[in-house]
Amino acid sequence: MHRVKAISQEISKNMVHVLEGIDEIQIEKVIDEILKAKKIFVLGVGHSGLIGKVLAMKLAHLGFSSYVVGDVTTPSLKRGDLLLAISQSGETSTILTLVRKAKSLGGKVIAVTSSSQSTLSEHADLSLGVAARIEGIEFPVLSLLGDEEYKNMSGALFGMNIFALFYGLVCELVARTGQSPPNIDSRHANIE
């Protein structure tokens, strides 16, 4: 049981420092792009894809036309639409292929990545940098998954960080669009 409780301290300490370090001007630009997009497509694989689905769902609850790339009900992307591509490394080949496709169709691309020097950042119209971990923070429990040389730990940390970031974005969008809890709840799934 010690590990179950200790891991929350490791993750939250890292998350607080990571989120404090995100460029507020870039966050403002992301919000602006979401607000003016006709449709919003969210793309990611692995941890990034799972957390991306949460973002797409919450945007739909706010009344945005948001979709997860790869779902069978996802419509076509057109000029005026936004692709939010999530990749910690910024080098995931599937993501890069679909980003190029979205750009060729006239879509705007926002990259959410830990690497501002990545291929994804280069192809994006806007790149939001989100670190996976802060130097100097120890992860005695989470490192059981692996350390810097393995992808499991950094992927988990990046996933937790973007989860918190996305909920922050959603709350900001709630305030800016004048949503109320009953509005949001009225768009929540009700045949589950």
Q: What's the pLDDT tens digit per position in 122-133?
A: 999 999 999 998
Could you tell me the pLDDT band of residue 144, with boundaries at 50, 70 and 90? confident
Q: What is the pLDDT of residues 70-115, one digit of tens each?
A: 999 999 999 999 999 999 999 999 999 999 999 999 999 999 999 9
Structural tokens at position 69: 């790339």
Could you tell me the pLDDT band of residue 177, with boundaries at 50, 70 and 90? very high
| Residue 151 confidence (pLDDT) above 80 | no
Report which of residues 161 and 135 the model is more confident about: 161
Whole-number pLDDT of residue 16? 95
Interatomic CA distance for residues 111 and 115, integer angstroms = 10
Report which of residues 183 and 147 the model is more confident about: 183
Could you tell me the pLDDT band of residue 178, with boundaries at 50, 70 and 90? very high
Asked if residues 95 and 45 have their Cβ atoms less than 8 Å apart, the reply is yes
Output phi, psi for 128, to 5 deg: -105, 115
The CATH code that applies to domain 2-178 is 3.40.50.10490
Go through the chain and tell me how many residues it has.
192
Whole-number pLDDT of residue 148? 62
pLDDT, mean of residues 46-60? 96
Interatomic CA distance for residues 36 and 122, integer angstroms = 22
Whole-number pLDDT of residue 150? 60
Range scoring the smallest mean pLDDT among 9-13, 30-34, 93-97, 145-149: 145-149
Nearest residue to 124 via CA among 165, 94, 82: 82
Whole-number pLDDT of residue 136? 85
| Residue 54 confidence (pLDDT) above 80 | yes
Summary mean pLDDT of the chain: 93
Strand order in the sheet with 126-129: 66-68, 40-43, 82-86, 108-113, 126-129
